Amino acid sequence: MNAAAIPAMPAFLLRQLGLQAGTRALLEGIDAQLPLGRFTAIVGPNGAGKSSLLKLLAGLQAPSQGQVLLHGLPLAAMPLAERARQLGWLGQFAAADLPLSLHDYVLLGLRPTLGSFGQASAPDLARVASALQQFDLLGAQQRRWGQLSGGERQRAGLARLLVQDAPLWLLDEPTNHLDLKHQALLFRRLRAEVAQGRTIVAVLHDLPQAARWADHVLLLGEGRLLAQGAPADCLSAAELSRAYQWPVRLWPDAAGHWQLAVGEVA
Amino acid sequence: MPTSEARLRWPHRPPVFAPLLAGLYGLLPRLALLAASAGLIVFALGFAGDGWQWPDLADPLVSALRLPRVLSALLVGAALAAAGAALQALFRNPLADPGLIGTASGAALAVVAVMALGLVSIGLPTAAFIGALLSTWLLLGLSRLLGGGEISLLLLGLVLGSLAAAATGMLLFLSDDLTLRSAMSWLSGQLGSSTGAPLAWAAPFALAGIALLLAMGRELDCLLLGEDEARSLGVPVERVRLWTAIGAALAVGAAVSVAGIIGFIGMMVPNACALLLGGGRRRLIWVSSLAGALFLLLMDTLARGIAYPVNLPVGLLAGFIGPLCFFWLFRLRARRLA
């Protein structure tokens, strides 16, 4: 079956979404659709409200205005336990120290399945081992959290998401702390997950990577949605320059790799 | 970004869960029986060799004095250590201890106030529970309101604890009641004192508290990751906070109503256990409660015999050992920053 031929259903529908912090509007009047079973990238300059938007999608914060619909139903009405089975969220800043080993940490991904009291079964533990293996962490699994490098913590977070196994992943700058190889491996991995039907929404800083790997892009600037759609359509020089308030141009070269040019202004 | 300066290091080693647990289970009943049947010297000899015997329950010395005292030591030690392990996760701070963050002081204030009113028996552990809960809740609220990280949480707890201690001192000072005068020795942390609540009244509170904290284990592990992370894993954060505070208050309140303020057990025992089996609260809370029971039993047996015939309050002994442990945890942190 050709996935591209089927019009993508929205996983998330955002209606006039707004978020206030005191008197300051972090997000304002966002109307958007995030397709199901696709990779959506949220891009924009610092302070544009990308992480705030991701938290609203995860239901970790309640919007001040408007609403988030997940599969057509208001996210706010979804019980917490069900939300944890539907949505996996990985924040930007992992704790610097935890009294847990890497293995204990990844094991917590089973919390939505097991509830407060359930015992992990042998297949559950096998899933944890497989997640550790897939993110190249088997050798470090007994190390304490404080001894892990930033990259290992980032990969541990992804392994925890894999164990949690929610059909939708919300990732806040998942390439943070990752070296070039692990970034490439991560994006391949995310594409493979999407090919298997997972929906991924990621806040990304790197425009060429967003353009290369994402199916759908939301471009934010100063709390507003400036453009949404396929990368080639909505990451035009005009839109990008408006978002970043700086001359920016993004284009695919002959090999299909995206190139970025950042201009100089007087 | 997290600032490394303000962070305290969590002790941790790879798990040796099964042998540790088997050891604790094997040791506890035997030591308890020994302590009930003998004084310090026979205790030491009996533990070293095989020359021990069942305590003679017909002997009034055993049934009226030693056995209740041994059971109190087990209960109080288990309650304080379990509460410490849970509070450390609740406050995300390895140095949280019911005695240091004001939970025990709040309980003691409530107990003294109730004593001043002339209510005893069930009134004592109930009041202690309410006092401990209020002080924990106040600290949780204040630390979230004022922020400022882990060290400032300890300072806030210290201030709240001092406030409660001052109020307790004022109550004792103003009272000319003999009961309250004798409360001074109970307050400094003594097992087997006649001032404290009877064990039978406090035990249900302590056991309910420990059970509640055990039930919170996995939720507390998730909460360690951070509020957003915990919520994204389906943990009802506010409810877990409330239940943990209630469980810790039940346990600490019961311990304080029986034995006054015995500091540092709640910090020492969980951190030492975490070194042996990792700091995941799901295991740590109940291993800590076993180890805490064992530890306080040993300490109290020592306190009972070390200055014989004077009965040293075990709280004083803990007051000497505890700070050493505190320094050790600080050294861990200093080593990391170096």
Structure confidence by residue, pLDDT tens digits, A157-171: 999 999 999 999 999
pLDDT-derived band of residue A128, with 50, 70 and 90 as boundaries?
very high
Give the nearest partner residue to B232 out of A58, A98, A142, using CB atoms: A58
Q: Which helix (H) or strand (E) holds B54?
A: none
- For the ranges A174-178, A255-259, B229-233, the lowest mean pLDDT is seen at A255-259
Say which of B9, B221, B235 has its CB closest to residue A100: B221
Query: B97 at the A interface (CB within 8 A)?
Result: no
CATH number of the domain residue B152 falls in: 1.10.3470.10
Q: Which of B46, B100, B60, B51 is nearest to B301 (CA)?
A: B46
Chain A interface disruption, residue of B10, B95, B233, B243, most A CBs within 10 A: B233
Phi-psi region of A47 (alpha: psi -120 to 50; beta: other; left: phi over 0): left
- Cβ neighbours of B1 in A, within 8 Å: 93
Identify whether the C-beta of residue B36 lies closer than 8 Å to the C-beta of residue B55.
yes
Cβ-nearest to A84 among B8, B94, B233: B233
Chain B positions touching A93 (Cβ under 8 A) are 1-2
The residue type at A160: R
**Nearest Cβ partner of A93 from B1, B12, B233?**
B1
Show pLDDT as tens, one digit a residue, over chain B (338 residues). Answer: 344 344 455 555 555 666 767 777 777 777 777 776 666 555 555 555 555 556 666 677 666 777 888 889 999 999 999 999 999 999 888 888 898 889 999 999 998 888 877 766 667 888 999 999 999 999 988 888 887 666 777 788 889 999 999 999 888 888 776 766 667 778 888 887 767 777 888 899 999 999 999 999 999 999 999 889 999 999 999 899 999 999 999 999 999 989 889 988 999 899 888 887 788 898 899 899 999 999 998 888 888 777 777 778 888 888 888 888 778 776 765 555 44
Kindly identify which residue of chain A lies nearest to residue B278, measuring between CA atoms. Answer: A100
Kindly report the nearest CA distance between residue B297 and chain A, in angstroms.
27
For residue B17, the model assigns a pLDDT of 63
Q: Tokens standing for B64?
A: 């009226």
Q: Where are the domains of chain A?
A: 10-262
Both structure tokens of A71: 């599969």
Query: How high is the pLDDT of residue B3?
Result: 40
Structure tokens at A18: 């707004």
* A155 to chain B, closest Cα gap in Å: 15
Residues of B in contact with A87 (CB under 8 A): 232
**B28-52: per-residue pLDDT in tens?**
777 777 776 666 555 555 555 555 5
Interface size between A and B, measured as CB pairs under 8 A: 99
B232: nearest CA in chain A? A84
The answer to whether position B28 is within a domain reads no
B95 in a domain, yes or no? yes
CB A250 within 8 A of CB A258: yes
Average pLDDT over residues A4-8: 52
The partner residue sitting opposite A97, judged by closest CB among B9, B228, B274, is B9
Mean pLDDT of all residues belonging to chain B:
81
- What does the pLDDT look like over B236-282, one tens digit per residue? 998 999 999 999 999 999 999 898 899 889 998 998 888 877 888 98
Which candidate, B32, B69, B67, places its Cα nearest to that of B194? B69
CATH no. of A10-262: 3.40.50.300
Chain A neighbors of B225, CB-CB under 8 A:
95, 98, 105, 108
Chain B residues 223-282 with a CB less than 8 Å from chain A = 224-226, 228-229, 231-236, 274, 278-280
Restricting to A residues 206-245, those with a Cβ less than 8 Å away from any Cβ of B are: none
Q: Per residue in B1-27, is it b (16+ CB within 10 Å) or e — as a string?
A: eeeeeebbbbbbeebeeeebbeebeeb
pLDDT band of A40, cuts 50, 70, 90:
very high
pLDDT of residue B302: 83
pLDDT classification of A3: cutoffs 50, 70, 90:
very low
pLDDT of residue B109: 92
Please name the residue of chain A whose CA is at the shortest distance from the CA of residue B15.
A142
- Whether the CB of A124 is below 8 Å from some CB of chain B: the reply is no
Task: Determine, for residues A99 and B236 on separate chains, whether the beta-carbon distance falls below 8 Å.
Answer: no
Average pLDDT of chain A is 90
Q: By mean pLDDT, which of A71-80, A194-203, B309-318 is the weakest?
A: B309-318
Say if the Cβ atoms of B236 and A87 lie within 8 Å.
no
Task: Look at residue B54 in the predicted model and tell me its pLDDT.
Answer: 62
Find, in chain B, the residue whose alpha carbon is nearest to that of A153.
Answer: B225
Structural domain range at position B297 = 60-337
pLDDT of residue A118: 85
pLDDT at A55: 95
ipTM of the complex: 0.91
Q: What is the pLDDT of residue B118?
A: 72
Q: Please report residues of A whose CB lies closer than 8 A to that of B94.
A: 99
B113 forms bridges with which residues in the sheet?
none
In order of A142, B27, B283, the CA distances from B20 in angstroms are 18, 11, 12
